[in-house]
Structure 1
Amino acid sequence: MSEVKVALLAVAMLTMGLSGCIGTGEDLEEQRVDDVGEDAVDSTNGWSTPTEPRRYEILPGIEASFTSFDDTEISVGVFLPDKPACDWNASEQPEECQLPVVIDAGPYWGDGEEDKSFRPPLVEWLVPRGYAVLHMSVRGTGESGGCMEFMSQAEQADVDETITWAAKQAWSNGNVGMMGRSYDGTTPLMGAASGNENLETIVPISGVFSVPDLMFKNGTSETRGPIMHSVVYWGLFGMGAIYGAEAADFRAEHWAEQACEEVVVGQAQGGYATATGDASDEYWQVRDFTEPILENYNGSVWVVHGMQDWNVNPSQAIPFYQAMEEDPDIETKAWFGQWDHAYPDRVDEHRNVRWDWADRTLAWFDHYLKEDEQAPTPDLTVEVEDSLYVWRTEDTYPPEDAEPTTHETDLSGTVAANNAVSWTSEPLDENVRVAGLPSVEVTATPTTTEGGWVFAELYDVYPDGVSMRVGWGALNLAYHEGGNTDPATLTPGQPIETEITFEPMDAHIGEDHRLRLVLHKDGVEDIPQSPDPSPVTVDDVNLVMPQIDRDETLAEPTPPGLNDMEVR
């Protein structure tokens, strides 16, 4: 959540179309130019715009509210088109005045009537083309009542009730979708987990499928882990510190509502899980949406996630995406590209801009919410962009034909604070494609009962010596059997056979390049240095990479630039 990153710094200081199949390796960039047409691309705002003409003007936003299950007032901003012959104040509407609804729900909306933001410009994209768009402020934020409970069961129930409220409005056709990024990309997952029958489709962008697995990956803890609820969201949003005047005044008038048990439990559990890696408490488990989605959701999902997302790691979506694919009640589509906590169509966020994103989004909603027979049937595949910024289409992801390939290393030594060990391969004799979740098999011998955290980083070393990091992983040795809920008791001096799983990657490593693997205890991304700096001996280290063959002709690997993955 880039908003969260900013907050922490402050505290510290579809798609349809695009045909292709496994092995074709088609360059989708050329297809996009042909499909959309250069003259139709509107880059005025630095992001994509639907090529379908605007049919209606956007009426001023309406500030509305409803009472949730526990009498908490939930604030929503409603945006409707200026459609002739439609009286939006009427208690009954003719069929032509009943619109599909798309909700963007989160803590960032302030008074809810903002029609433009850094989030997907849904009002501009959808309302002129016959949709209603709702901005919902989760409880305890914006002008909603209650306490900022950070994705609690009560907040999940509010999302469910917002969907029902939207579906029952006279101007609604009863079909509801949800879309948003980061926190706003997580609320659609809450909606899916609720099983609300009116929720037909969701488009989560950098959404959090499991809060405990994000904050406490394999028993490690992100820097924000102990303060995510109590400082970042409760302090900055619940207390209104970063809103405009109107919403800030509302929050100031309702500050007493922010004294709730959920905040106290969140602070205590944040500290405990950070110290121990144990996220088994109910506070965390009710914020894991994976099983409820599989149990309750009957609809479609288009997952959009950056493979370089430093904030909501791509392991949130991969490989759980495949579990949704296998569910007969869920239709799935995904875009996985080489951007960070961003969008696929922003010129300042992504090197190979997907100018077709707005068109694909509109067509997706037209199919699932308008039930438009003229809308193209969604191509339920995965479009993935590799580290050379070349797009291709896969039937699933990770690819089913990915072959685990073991690269034996001679790496051994002692990993401790400020003491890393590394291995560099011989030059590769052919191009290598990595697609999925690599891992490091390692025998680790702790010297304390805690063992501490061990990090692995993989680099692509170019012939001129420049290195580009292509992957990383983290593991708390007390959780060497997996997960973050059942720590093992370590015996100093007793070896542990385990593996460190990397974040998902889709990388092309060129012929004559070298692989460099580094093991250390000094932190990576938002995970700080191991709290236990004591030495760990590592040996019998193997790098296992899921490798694929594709018959496309790849461009020569270009030297990494400042906007690419981390360069060293």
Structure 2
Amino acid sequence: MNTSFFTFRFRSLAIVFGIQVLTLACLTAQEQAKPVFKDGEAQIVDAFNTPEKWIRHDLFVETTFDSDGDGQLDRMHVDVTRPNQTETEGLKLPVIYESSPYYAGVAPDVEGLFWDVHHELGEMGKARKHPDVVRTGQRPIISNSQIGLWVPRGYIVVHSSSPGTGLSQGAPTVGGVNESLAPKAVIDWLNGRAKGYTEPYGNEEVKAYWSTGKVGMTGTSYNGTIPLAAATTGVEGLEVIIPVAPNTSYYHYYRSNGLVRSPGGYLGEDIDVLYDFINSGDEAKRPSNNARVRDGEMMKGMDRITGDYNAFWAGRDYLNAMGPMKAALLMSHGFNDWNVMPEHSYRIYNKAREMGLETGIYYHQFGHGGPPPLSMMNKWFTHYLHGIDNGIENEPHKAWIVREDDTIDKPTPYTDYPNPDAEAITLYLVGGAPEIGQLSKLEVPDQDPETLIDNYSFDGEALAKAEITSHRLLYVTPKLTEDLHISGIPKITIKLASSKPATNLSVWLVSLPWDDSRNAKTTDNIITRGWADPQNHKSLTNGTPLEVGRYYELSFDLQPDDQIIKAGQQIGLMIFSSDKAFTLHPKPGTQLAIDPNGTHLMLPVVGGMEAYSKAVN
């Protein structure tokens, strides 16, 4: 044994230790750097606002799973950015953590990446292409997100690549259990319960001696899904999550009430497409991962034939896994997000509220993304991670909604969402096809069926603007003489018959006249939307072919909304079949017959029928 080597190491450590003790002793004579709080928020501290002194390093956290099947527990690639005082002054700080499958690059958008949607319902469509991801990024920096905001305010920022992406081991599963257990392992490591290593296959350990153990997570879209995934494990130390536009159910992302439906802007995308999009992990592991996950589990479970809900989709629905969750939750979403639709946040918020968790929800009127105002996030992180009593848990308002003419950082507070003063009113159809019918407070009996002919070549905007067309049915309220506030989840009940055993069904709630001007806002035209498969009129898990000409009744929710419809507008209920931007494109010609006597709209109005009657005279 080389005793001189060990003697040298011991003496070196003793010298270093002595210097650290001396340094700390000297610092006690002067004020050490520490977080500063004002008005319940963490403030920028000059001593922390020194990027050139920040300590940045990476490591590999060992998980409890082997998702790539190589016989070894997967390790997640993690980076850390922390103020230098966590090293020089022994300062311990809480962590803000973001994880993502996107950090190491994504697949190119090549022709054939998405499923071809030009085929009949009940068919699979032709095979698509599987492009490879060219991995990007270098150690030790995985991402720079969150750092500039939070490190100067007295936090440590941590990132990790999700399983099978970047330098993280394992396989992408797009909502599989490993995507919940991976961030759990990182949080366990931050609390000393899991092991971290300097290298992906090495044995030299790294410890988070600078962490208080308190962790908050945030992120947008997929990066907002992972905080929820982690929270469903009930991991100790995860105190608060702020998901922004999170995908909380892959079924709700790729299907709608039994219907095969694409997310807005990505016609033909499905869960296997997203798998290919993020598959940036070890090139040597990709063939076996592809065969097992994408071409095995996904192809067996995703079911583009019927669109039914099944065990595969249930396992990727975080609502089903919320039992252990105890982290505080501040949700953020846009009412006009037609990619990850606003129901994704509401369904989780509503469940968390029922569970008695600390909850809040922030909605704005724009599209995908959009975090809460910095001040709001700051107060939530300050309270739950630094333990500052700033009163947010006693806040009388649980909902903050950006009104139509306000900026995204100026939300209006409300007691809750939906607005507690909202009541569902029922509006009935008065026929007028192929022109425009009416929405009435009173039922009109003994009306004849109204028909429409499916043709995907006409998009929703064209159908809403048309005065006469055989490709949609449109029913409108009287012109509003006062503003009308809608808050909640509209619900449609439709009685219909089809000329084919399968058909698309699309419903839009619109504000008319349609505004084509350059200054039109996203809230000026579309109020909300919904889609459904009439084959699933009885069961979401077992759709059955329609008997041609037979009438069926089905009810389903439209997307949540909170909107003030301006005086001078009319609210229109538009019923049509294939939605050019969202559904499959079967050959035009399917006829739908709608029975007005068995069809009605339940609209959540603040002030109920009294307010509605006043607004329409």
> Would the TM-score normalized by the shorter structure come out above 0.5?
yes
Give 1:102 shift: 1.7
Cα deviation, 1:333-367, whole Å, max 9, x if unaligned, reads 110111211214xxxxxxxxx7xx22221221111
In structure 1, C-alpha distance between the alignment counterparts of 2:86 and 2:303, rounded to whole Å:
56
Q: What is the percentage of aligned positions where both structures have the same residue? A: 22
Bigger radius of gyration: 2
Check the 8 A contact 1:523/1:530 in 2, yes or no: no
AA aligned to 1:220 is L
The aligned residue for residue 299 of structure 2 is: 268
The aligned residue for residue 398 of structure 1 is: 418
In structure 1, C-alpha distance between the alignment counterparts of 2:417 and 2:315, rounded to whole Å:
27
AA aligned to 2:507 is A
AA aligned to 1:186 is T
In structure 2, C-alpha distance between the alignment counterparts of 1:524 and 1:300, rounded to whole Å:
39
The aligned residue for residue 97 of structure 2 is: 103
Provide the secondary structure at the position in 2 that maps to 1:186.
helix
The aligned residue for residue 341 of structure 2 is: 313
The aligned residue for residue 477 of structure 2 is: 425
Check the 8 A contact 1:123/1:133 in 2, yes or no: yes
Check the 8 A contact 2:45/2:154 in 1, yes or no: no
In structure 1, C-alpha distance between the alignment counterparts of 2:86 and 2:556, rounded to whole Å:
60
Find 2:80's aligned residue among 78, 81, 86.
78
Change (3 A) 1:269 1:306: farther
The aligned residue for residue 225 of structure 2 is: 186
Give 1:298 shift: 1.2
Check the 8 A contact 2:451/2:594 in 1, yes or no: yes
Change (3 A) 1:509 1:226: closer
The aligned residue for residue 402 of structure 2 is: 385
Give 1:50 shift: 7.9
Give 1:266 shift: 4.6
Check the 8 A contact 2:86/2:210 in 1, yes or no: no
Change (3 A) 1:115 1:366: farther
Alignment gaps of 5+ in structure 1: 1-35, 38-48, 88-93, 241-249, 345-353, 551-568
Q: Give the length in aligned residue pairs.
A: 465
Cα deviation, 1:43-93, whole Å, max 9, x if unaligned, reads xxxxxx986444412425312112211311210111111217637xxxxxx
* Worse overlay, 51-60 or 169-178: 51-60
Provide the secondary structure at the position in 1 that maps to 2:430.
coil
The aligned residue for residue 27 of structure 1 is: none
Change (3 A) 1:108 1:494: same
Q: So what's the TM-score if we normalise by structure 2?
A: 0.69
The aligned residue for residue 331 of structure 2 is: 303
In structure 1, C-alpha distance between the alignment counterparts of 2:422 and 2:543, rounded to whole Å:
31
* Worse overlay, 223-232 or 124-133: 223-232
Equivalent residues in 2 for 1:100-179, closer than 5 Å: 100-110=94-104, 111=137, 113-114=140-141, 121-168=145-192, 169-179=208-218
Give 1:219 shift: 0.9
Give 1:549 shift: 3.8
Give 1:421 shift: 1.7
AA aligned to 1:100 is P
AA aligned to 2:212 is N
AA aligned to 1:326 is E
Alignment gaps of 5+ in structure 2: 1-37, 67-72, 105-136, 193-207, 432-448, 456-470, 518-523, 609-617
Give 1:532 shift: 8.9
In structure 2, C-alpha distance between the alignment counterparts of 1:108 and 1:539, rounded to whole Å:
48
In structure 2, C-alpha distance between the alignment counterparts of 1:464 and 1:172, rounded to whole Å:
53
The aligned residue for residue 495 of structure 1 is: 551
Find 1:220's aligned residue among 233, 251, 259.
259
Check the 8 A contact 2:452/2:592 in 1, yes or no: yes
Q: So what's the TM-score if we normalise by structure 1?
A: 0.75
The aligned residue for residue 370 of structure 2 is: 343
Check the 8 A contact 1:143/1:251 in 2, yes or no: yes
Give 1:408 shift: 2.1
**1:366 aligns to 2:423 (yes or no):** no
Find 2:560's aligned residue among 504, 521, 525.
504
**1:258 aligns to 2:270 (yes or no):** no
**1:453 aligns to 2:504 (yes or no):** yes
Give 1:415 shift: 3.0
Check the 8 A contact 1:202/1:300 in 2, yes or no: yes
Give 1:524 shift: 5.7
The aligned residue for residue 272 of structure 2 is: 230
Task: Considering Cα pairs closer than 8 Å and 6+ residues apart, tell me whether 1 or 2 has the greater RCO.
Answer: 1
Check the 8 A contact 1:125/1:362 in 2, yes or no: no
AA aligned to 2:567 is E
RMSD over equivalenced CA pairs, Å: 2.9
In structure 1, C-alpha distance between the alignment counterparts of 2:479 and 2:150, rounded to whole Å:
51
The aligned residue for residue 202 of structure 1 is: 241
In structure 1, C-alpha distance between the alignment counterparts of 2:487 and 2:583, rounded to whole Å:
24
The aligned residue for residue 289 of structure 1 is: 318
Equivalent residues in 2 for 1:240-255, closer than 5 Å: 240=280, 251-252=282-283, 254-255=285-286
